[in-house]
Structure 1
Amino acid sequence: MTIAEQPATTTAHPLDPMTAEEVTAVRAALDGAGLLGENVRFTFVTLEEPDRDAALAHRPGQEADRRFRAVLLDLASGVSHDTVVSATRSTVDSVRRLDPAVDGQPPIIDTEFELVEEIVNADERWTSALRKRGIDPATVRAAPLSAGVYDEPGERGKRIIRSLGFQQFHPADHPWAHPVDGLCAYIDLTNREVTRIVDHRELPVPQESGNFDDPEVTGPARTSLRPIEITQPEGPSFTVEGHRVRWENWDLRLGFNEREGLTLHQLSFHQRQVLHRASIAEMVVPYADPSPVRFWQNYFDCGEYMFARYTNSLELGCDCLGEIHYFDAVVADDFGRPRTIRNGICMHEEDYGVLWKHTDLFTGSQETRRQRRLVISFFTTVGNYDYGFYWYFYLDGTIQLECKATGITFTAAYPDEGHEYATQIAPGLGAPFHQHLFCARLDVAVDGQRNAVEEVEAERVPVSETNPRGNAFRAKRTRLRTEGQAARLADNSRARTWHIVNPGSQNRYGDNVSYVLHPEGRPVMLADESASVHARGTFATKHLWVTRYDREQRYPAGDLVNQNPGGAGLPAWTARDRDIDGQDIVVWHTFGLTHFPRPEDWPIMPVDRAGFTLTPVGFFDRNPTLDVPRSTGTGCHGEGSTGL
């Protein structure tokens, strides 16, 4: 059967992840419409999710019209098209030619990354700059990186990338240990030429090995660690039906796409709605080095690279422990062919210590219950960094997201006179200061679709007739009524949190039911307001944004982030200052790491963590875990347990 003869496809639910058959059907429809050719590549293919009401109204057995957004790039001309295709009907529903100067560029694809080394090695200025440093160009690996948006002459509307060099002494050598610093190439990907060489300074290439997988570097493996076995003799407590998961009063659906990775849908607890959709919708990594060869370094790993296309295949015993359920993930390659990532998503449950405990002075009772959580995760590798995203669901209704950042820090030469914006992590080797800033998109539905957000913080009460000893403090509550008012910063000195309330649903005390967003409150973007990355990544300048629901508003830095001039996404949407009080709203939360690397982060970085927590507050009338049974393990509530 040829591609053009592939049948239309159906799927079990409109929010299910893309299948291999659907990728093939999308390609066939675009080919039949004459939109493909020898030089045309797919920069991404993602599910066009149905409107929220349509998704909620879907019933088993109903046919879903599965539509996909595919952005195409002609490598020869640089022309790109934004299309929407129905895999169900085998039709192209819409086509729009993109204007790169206004819309930005499509994401960078693997085909282009693979071209960069060939392009720079064909440029005499690049090879001459290497040879004058005594370096054989054949030993230098090009590190192609997104270009950002700057006032460089001739770049407007062009598809640009920038490349640094790293020396590799043998095929198993990790080149990140050997940056060729002070040298940078600017590359026009469409014309396949180097437009500019920045040869700022000759710096020695660091020589010490960074091969963390070489026994000569690591030394002999320790033998003191005894095995840990995690078993569930009766199997896991969760059930899986397609991509629907039920576990201990939780009910949710899993999705996946190459831009956001794991997505969560239709989350409810005790059959009460909490979230309609949750994802990490964007991330930006701004660097602090202002030197002529590095000032432009900032990466939007979701929007510029489609970072989830590099999702790892997870392995039992290495990435996940216990009774594991895996889900495969499907993405489209540059040619629009399906690629299945085996075991892309891992799900398991794990013990999480004490849930609640009390030994009572008066009754002599001793009761302990153990906490447990469901873990749903995926890991992706973007160049030198590896990111794991872990969603946790707890017995008491708490939701938590934890990002685990590991891998290899980006490196630079560390000069003899020192470096104000980097840490020396090996002799002559530096790691520039940078941030990892993520944005979670939370389509909230706390007990229904009409929600509001209140900022709650601790407030000291002045000494007065009612507070004569000065010990009083209270919770100050402020309703955030418009999008403009809801662009907020965290403040840990005031214990500031944001309560997502339902004004139409009250608990038995007459209070609005709520889920509370607990921010970690770490720094937001530190770049100056005049910086290009500030304009492009404005979402990362606030911890909180709240917008009216709009199915088209999916990505906080806009649809096409690569070489976008800025201002798209959240700053544009919230400029309308719409009413968000008791409306259908989306909560956006920025969180992340400010990384001043340390020697202990080299040659591979132990996991660093960032995230946030959502807890029910007044959502229940009392502790919802009173029915959790006593543990049945030996030594807990056994004979010999005595009261007071």
Structure 2
Amino acid sequence: MEITQPEGPSFTVSGREVSWQKWRLRVGFSPREGLVLHTVGYSDRGRLRPVIHRASMSEMYIPYGDPAPTHRFKNVFDEGEYGIGFLLNPLELGCDCLGEIFYFDAVVNDADGNPLTIPNAICMHEEDAGVSWKHTDFRTEKTEVRRSRRLVISCYATVGNYEYGFFWYLYNDGNIEFEVKLTGVISTGAVADGQRPGHGTLVAPNLYGPHHQHFFNVRLDMAVDGHRNSVHEVDSEPLPVGPGNETGNAWRTRKTLLARESDSGRLIDPFKARYWTITNPDVVGATGEPVGYKLMPGENTVPMAGEGTQTWNRAGFAYKHLWVTAHDETQRFAAGDYPNQNRGGTDGLPSFVAADRPIESADVVVWYTFCAHHVVRPEDWPVMPTSRVGFHLKPVGFFDGNPALDLPPSAPACHSTLGSTDGQEPR
């Protein structure tokens, strides 16, 4: 497949500043976090409205669930112990990214402290993202359809046996998505003839992949129309049958304000369709509600390791999905500054929120933890097909209506050369 843009890409770059569609942002980098986004904003009717001040991955943690001596010690903090930025790949056009590509280099230090450039460490390009919106008038049979496009900013890190791709997507309807792509080679163990592993999956004769989990925590220094934001937990709940709900089909959403740091440390709940909103109570939208963005969870779970384990003691952040803290520049990492020296409960998010600072109408940082729960399959051997996990940020009352309504129609085009309508097999 070949992606071409004869008129060139629709983004512009000035240094590290990127303008694309109505989005404005800066693409940054740090040796520990890797790719960092700064000052993400959306131009709405001529006014640049901030959404996120700084977005970065604050920790990666991979505990193994096999008690065998060769696996039970594996509790790796890939970011806090190694540094994702140091491990980024130089990317290649046509392999890691397709289309009209703009690359950013990254600079780290070598073992002697000298600057070392990783060329093409961060890739930026555009992708078609399917239908943005569509409607067919069944009376007139007139159809209006608009294609969606997204800006992709990504990088890949090789961490031992695994490859991790980190992808930020900005959509022209105001949505933001973060996705981690996992591939590479699984860590394996040996079993004797005729035996089956108790804590993993047989992938080849005498070879198994142990159960393990990949935890990621993303730090979102929010700035929804400014730096005074509040966070609510939103659940959907059915109403009891009775007056006003005689047919029993009514349900509503219930908002719970997270007023202090001790109120955070929240878990997902798919049975309540739970999500969290970050709003600005000082700015009211067209419907009279505060403008905001909502964090929509994706695939997720919690650590399988219980109290007293290494995971419990050193990765307390992973036992809750959403944390909210008052802004503090010294608090950058979910497991603390030095997770390999953490003896248990002394650093990271659990200790941050112990201060119990107020977070209503405040400069808040939202931390979201998500997990790729890996029960290995035979299909993951010898090289694992890419697995994906992440979350979405979606505007809720931030705009007066669909911000992609003004997308221009695409020119009708069909390049169908692979099929036929005469009953013959496709060529």
Q: What TM-score results when the alignment is normalised by the length of structure 1?
A: 0.63
Structure 1 residues 548-563: aligned runs within 5 Å: 548-563=326-341
- Is the aligned partner of 1:449 residue 2:227? yes
For residues 254 and 340 of structure 1, the distance between their equivalents in structure 2, rounded to whole angstroms, comes to 16
Alpha-carbon deviations, 1:547-595, whole Å to 9, x = none? 0000100001111112321321101110111111111100000012010
Partner of 1:322: 99
Partner of 2:354: 575
| Aligned-residue offset at 1:245 | 0.2
What amino acid does structure 1 have at the position aligned with 2:49?
R
**Count of residue pairs brought into register by the alignment:** 409
For residues 393 and 502 of structure 1, the distance between their equivalents in structure 2, rounded to whole angstroms, comes to 21
- Is the aligned partner of 1:547 residue 2:322? no
The answer (yes or no) to whether the contact 1:452–1:583 under 8 Å persists in 2 is yes
For residues 239 and 311 of structure 1, the distance between their equivalents in structure 2, rounded to whole angstroms, comes to 24
Unaligned runs of 5+ in 2: 416-427
What amino acid does structure 1 have at the position aligned with 2:99?
G
- Is the aligned partner of 1:608 residue 2:390? no
What amino acid does structure 1 have at the position aligned with 2:334?
P
For residues 563 and 433 of structure 1, the distance between their equivalents in structure 2, rounded to whole angstroms, comes to 25
For residues 349 and 485 of structure 1, the distance between their equivalents in structure 2, rounded to whole angstroms, comes to 39
Partner of 1:535: 313
Structure 1 residues 35-184: aligned runs within 5 Å: none
Structure 1 residues 213-612: aligned runs within 5 Å: 228-270=1-43, 271-415=48-192, 416-567=194-345, 568-612=347-391
What amino acid does structure 2 have at the position aligned with 1:611?
G
For residues 626 and 417 of structure 1, the distance between their equivalents in structure 2, rounded to whole angstroms, comes to 60
The answer (yes or no) to whether the contact 1:288–1:295 under 8 Å persists in 2 is yes
| Aligned-residue offset at 1:363 | 4.7
Partner of 1:621: 400
Return closer, same or farther for 1:442/1:610 CA change in 2, 3 Å cut-off: same
| Aligned-residue offset at 1:292 | 3.2
| Aligned-residue offset at 1:330 | 0.6
For the residue of structure 1 that corresponds to 2:403, the secondary structure is coil
Greater fraction of residues in helix = 1
The answer (yes or no) to whether the contact 1:524–1:590 under 8 Å persists in 2 is no
For the residue of structure 2 that corresponds to 1:303, the secondary structure is helix
| Aligned-residue offset at 1:482 | 1.2
Unaligned runs of 5+ in 1: 1-227, 637-644
Alpha-carbon deviations, 1:516-571, whole Å to 9, x = none? 00011511222112112211111111110000000100001111112321321101
For residues 397 and 512 of structure 1, the distance between their equivalents in structure 2, rounded to whole angstroms, comes to 17
For residues 408 and 587 of structure 1, the distance between their equivalents in structure 2, rounded to whole angstroms, comes to 32
For residues 223 and 139 of structure 2, the distance between their equivalents in structure 1, rounded to whole angstroms, comes to 43
For residues 521 and 580 of structure 1, the distance between their equivalents in structure 2, rounded to whole angstroms, comes to 27
For residues 175 and 285 of structure 2, the distance between their equivalents in structure 1, rounded to whole angstroms, comes to 18
For residues 632 and 328 of structure 1, the distance between their equivalents in structure 2, rounded to whole angstroms, comes to 36
- Is the aligned partner of 1:632 residue 2:414? no
For residues 21 and 70 of structure 2, the distance between their equivalents in structure 1, rounded to whole angstroms, comes to 53
For the residue of structure 2 that corresponds to 1:304, the secondary structure is helix
| Aligned-residue offset at 1:633 | 4.6
The answer (yes or no) to whether the contact 1:538–1:571 under 8 Å persists in 2 is yes
What amino acid does structure 1 have at the position aligned with 2:21?
E
For residues 377 and 413 of structure 1, the distance between their equivalents in structure 2, rounded to whole angstroms, comes to 35
For residues 41 and 356 of structure 2, the distance between their equivalents in structure 1, rounded to whole angstroms, comes to 30
| Aligned-residue offset at 1:291 | 2.3
| Aligned-residue offset at 1:422 | 1.1
Instruction: Kindly report the root-mean-square deviation, in angstroms, between the aligned alpha carbons of the 2 structures.
Output: 1.2
Q: What TM-score results when the alignment is normalised by the length of structure 2?
A: 0.94
For residues 339 and 221 of structure 2, the distance between their equivalents in structure 1, rounded to whole angstroms, comes to 22
Higher alpha-carbon Rg: 1
Work out which structure has the larger RCO, using CA pairs closer than 8 Å and 6 or more positions apart in sequence: 2
For the residue of structure 2 that corresponds to 1:533, the secondary structure is helix
Return closer, same or farther for 1:633/1:257 CA change in 2, 3 Å cut-off: farther
For residues 336 and 565 of structure 1, the distance between their equivalents in structure 2, rounded to whole angstroms, comes to 29
Greater fraction of residues in strand = 2
| Aligned-residue offset at 1:294 | 2.6
The answer (yes or no) to whether the contact 2:321–2:369 under 8 Å persists in 1 is yes
| Aligned-residue offset at 1:398 | 0.3
Identical-residue share of aligned pairs (%)? 54
